[in-house]
Chain A
Amino acid sequence: AQKVTQAQTEISVVEKEDVTLDCVYETRDTTYYLFWYKQPPSGELVFLIRRNSFDEQNEISGRYSWNFQKSTSSFNFTITASQVVDSAVYFCALSGTSYDKVIFGPGTSLSVIP
């Protein structure tokens, strides 16, 4: 079965703190893709990153970084020096070669307090 788990339902941090959002996935595919999407209060889901299962290099984009660990089936997302504009719901998602559709986790609601 394919499944995405985001154990943190809600996180609240004070501005400028670092925060890590956890994502654990399950899949039987050997080739698969992991994604993070952001859903701000305005509602529209916005793509942040895609990772394929053969690329375990961590990625950094500005204040965002992602840690992919195949051994623990995790794809965690860290925001450094959080800002109020980072307040949103963040979804981890998975797709694979045996199922083209993208499966989303339940999301983590992040609140950054000024």
Chain B
Amino acid sequence: DTGVSQDPRHKITKRGQNVTFRCDPISEHNRLYWYRQTLGQGPEFLTYFQNEAQLEKSRLLSDRFSAERPKGSFSTLEIQRTEQGDSAMYLCASSLGPREGINEKLFFGSGTQLSVL
């Protein structure tokens, strides 16, 4: 069990550029979540997958954000035409899906810190 890994750890980009982040969940986990965290705030939900299906996307999420999880393994989060307000830590988490109605705990990666200049 190597944990949840995210790549890159840091990304600096210019406003208007596109960026893509990758998340590799724990192998047997069928759920994968993306959160965004800004300084002094709690993680804010962006979207989540059950296997390859994207089950929910936050209404706060701009159309510039898109996420995929092909084959239900790793996931990518793409931000198009980045804006300075997109600067944040992007966190990925994985978990086993609910078992017997019990929501399982999340395992988090170290995050990707995005800075938009």
Residues on A with beta carbons closer than 8 Å to the beta carbon of B109: 44
Q: Work out how many contacts link A and B, with CB atoms closer than 8 A.
A: 59
Most chain A C-beta atoms within 10 Å of own C-beta, residue among B33, B44, B48, B106: B106
A95 part of interface (Cβ distance < 8 Å): yes
A105 to chain B, nearest CB (A): 5
Q: Tell me, in angstroms, the Cα distance from A31 to B101 when the chains sit together.
A: 9
Q: In the complex where A35-B105, A43-B89, A47-B106 touch, is A100 in contact with B48 (Cβ < 8 A)?
A: yes
Contact: A47 with B105, CB < 8 Å? yes
A97 part of interface (Cβ distance < 8 Å): yes
Within 8 A of B (CB), among A50-95: 50, 52, 91, 93, 95
Residues on B with beta carbons closer than 8 Å to the beta carbon of A46: 108
Residues on B with beta carbons closer than 8 Å to the beta carbon of A101: 33, 45, 48, 56
Contact: B43 with A44, CB < 8 Å? no
Q: In the complex where A45-B108, A100-B48, A100-B98 touch, is A33 in contact with B103 (Cβ < 8 A)?
A: yes
Most chain B C-beta atoms within 10 Å of own C-beta, residue among A37, A101, A104: A101
Q: Tell me, in angstroms, the Cα distance from A95 to B98 when the chains sit together.
A: 11
Interface size in chain A (residues, C-beta < 8 A): 26
Q: In the complex where A100-B55, A101-B56, A107-B42 touch, is A45 in contact with B91 (Cβ < 8 A)?
A: yes
Contact: B33 with A44, CB < 8 Å? no
Residues on B with beta carbons closer than 8 Å to the beta carbon of A50: 103, 105
B102 part of interface (Cβ distance < 8 Å): yes
Q: In the complex where A35-B105, A44-B110 touch, is A102 in contact with B33 (Cβ < 8 A)?
A: yes
Interface string of B88-117 (1 = CB under 8 A from A): 010101000010011101111111000000
Q: In the complex where A43-B111, A47-B107 touch, is A97 in contact with B101 (Cβ < 8 A)?
A: yes
- Please name 20 pairs of A and B residues whose Cβ atoms are closer than 8 Å in the assembled complex, sorted by A: A31-B101, A33-B103, A42-B110, A43-B89, A43-B110, A43-B111, A44-B110, A45-B91, A45-B108, A47-B107, A50-B105, A52-B102, A91-B42, A101-B48, A101-B56, A103-B45, A104-B35, A104-B42, A106-B42, A107-B42
